[in-house]
Amino acid sequence: MEFPDRSDISSLIEPQQSPPFARVSYKPPTETLTDPLAATRAELPNLRFDDLEDGAAVAIGVGSRGIHRIDEITAEVVSYVENRGFEPVVVPAMGSHGGATPGGQLGTLEALGITEEAIGAPIDARMDVEKLGETDVEGTTTPVYFSTAAFEADAVLVINRIKPHTNFTGRIESGLCKMLTVGFGKQRGAQAFHSTALKRGYVPTIESIIEVIRESVPLLGGLALVENFHEELGHVEAIPADSLENREPPLLERAREEMPALPTDDLDLLVVDTLGKAISGAGMDTNVIGRYRVLNAPDPDSPSIKLIYARGLTEKTQGNGNGIGLADVTRQAAADQLDLQKTYANALTSGSLAKAKIPPVAPDDELALRVALNALGGYDPETVRVAWIKDTAHLTEFRVSEALLEEISDRVSVIDRERLVFEDGTASFDPR
């Protein structure tokens, strides 16, 4: 795809003076587990492995998210299962991610450090599913699909992070229940789920489907992980299958209280260096940027960000640019990273089409910022409120314009005063 080059658009908007910036540290108090692997070992007996016969095959579901130490946690679960005399097999439980192909899902796990060699167990990435039946979700008949690789096992458990979802709010959001109903459904199940969820609501759809799964699948339960503000593990809890819907809500509230967030709810411009699936299911955490862009799901009341400039994709997302459509402007370097097959597979399966839209593409940082600052209207470098972050998951250190710093100085510590400079159109910061 070809986009206008610098000579085509540089004359359309006059250069603007950049605001002065400060690099700041933001570290609200939080709790971190000193030994999450020991906590994992202590919790796993709560999943009632005693009901299994020696040599039973145990399918361990793992998703596509960049969770703190997820490779080590997975290896620890595999080791525990083996030591109990069972046969572990890891199954990607990530719906359509990885381009909805076995190779793509293996590649997604590998990017997270999860390989057969690293975890000491086989990985069965087949996309085949079994139809477990149908369920009625408030008048909408919905087929229920489940991974064949997991269904063939003697027992199933999932490992996932509990956190606010990027498309909806409710008593159950992103976590074990959603991984069971969507992730293990592979592409076909994920599509069926989202079709109903967009019409009837995510929570009723999750609750209805998981009942069918529990009746049809030898479900042990799951290992719930809760991260803190610093994206480190603060809590690990093994939840038996019959307690999933009761235990997830309080863990969700804990995650909501400790999740990464900016120290302000009102910005003129947010600059995001990278987005990707390991950062958030939506590429950028919608709870940080205040944008769902989902049919029948209004955007959150806060934060309020007028414009977002997304500069690129993470390496781990492997071209899946789902979430680029949440930005108002991007640059050629980001467009060059896009794998549209993976991006479309994600967007078409979820039905969240807006996230796959490509915003205006500028040749480089300098012109992208010209476009964004001009679009604000009445731009003034002395008053503009800008935050510049690495991504929406890592918010302990970032940059802010001086005008914004004045408002949040009681919540952050200044590391350095900087000025924005450009070399061949690419942005960087120098001390001032």
Please spell the DSSP secondary structure of 218-259, one letter per residue: -EEEEEEEEE-TTSSEEEEEEEEGGGHHHHHHHHHHHHHHHS
Q: What is the tens place of the pLDDT at every residue in 57-76?
A: 999 999 988 899 999 999 99
Q: What is the pLDDT of residue 297?
A: 66
What is the residue extent of each domain of the chain? 6-26+263-431, 36-258
Task: Spell out the residues 6+ positions from residue 340 whose beta carbon is closer than 8 angstroms to its own.
Answer: 321
Average pLDDT of span 136-150: 97
The CATH fold of domain 36-258: Rossmann fold (3.40.50)
Q: What is the pLDDT of residue 99?
A: 87
Average pLDDT of span 68-91: 97
Out of 44-58, 204-218, 284-298, 357-371, which region has the weakest mean confidence (pLDDT)?
Answer: 284-298
Q: What is the pLDDT of residue 85?
A: 97
d(C-alpha 322, C-alpha 372), whole Å: 21
Q: What is the tens place of the pLDDT at every residue in 300-325?
A: 777 999 999 999 999 989 999 999 99
Question: Exposure of 262 by Cβ count < 10 A (0-12 exposed, 13-18 middle, 19+ buried)?
Answer: buried
Q: What is the tens place of the pLDDT at every residue in 372-406?
A: 999 999 999 999 999 999 999 899 999 999 999 99
Q: What is the pLDDT of residue 166?
A: 78
Which of the listed ranges 161-170, 228-237, 289-298, 380-389 does the model predict with the highest average pLDDT?
A: 380-389
Q: What is the tens place of the pLDDT at every residue in 211-245?
A: 999 999 999 999 999 999 888 999 999 999 999 99
Q: What is the pLDDT of residue 259?
A: 86
pLDDT exceeds cutoff 70 at 296 = no
Q: What is the pLDDT of residue 55?
A: 97
- The model's pTM is 0.75
Average pLDDT of span 342-366: 91
Average pLDDT of span 196-218: 95
Average pLDDT of span 402-418: 95
DSSP state string for 76-101: HHHHHHHHTT-EEEEEE--TTTGGGS
Q: What is the tens place of the pLDDT at every residue in 266-281?
A: 999 999 999 998 888 8
Which pair of tokens denotes residue 83?
């030591």
Q: What share of the chain is helix, strand, coil (3-state, %, to 5)?
A: 35, 25, 40
**272: amino acid identity, one letter:** V
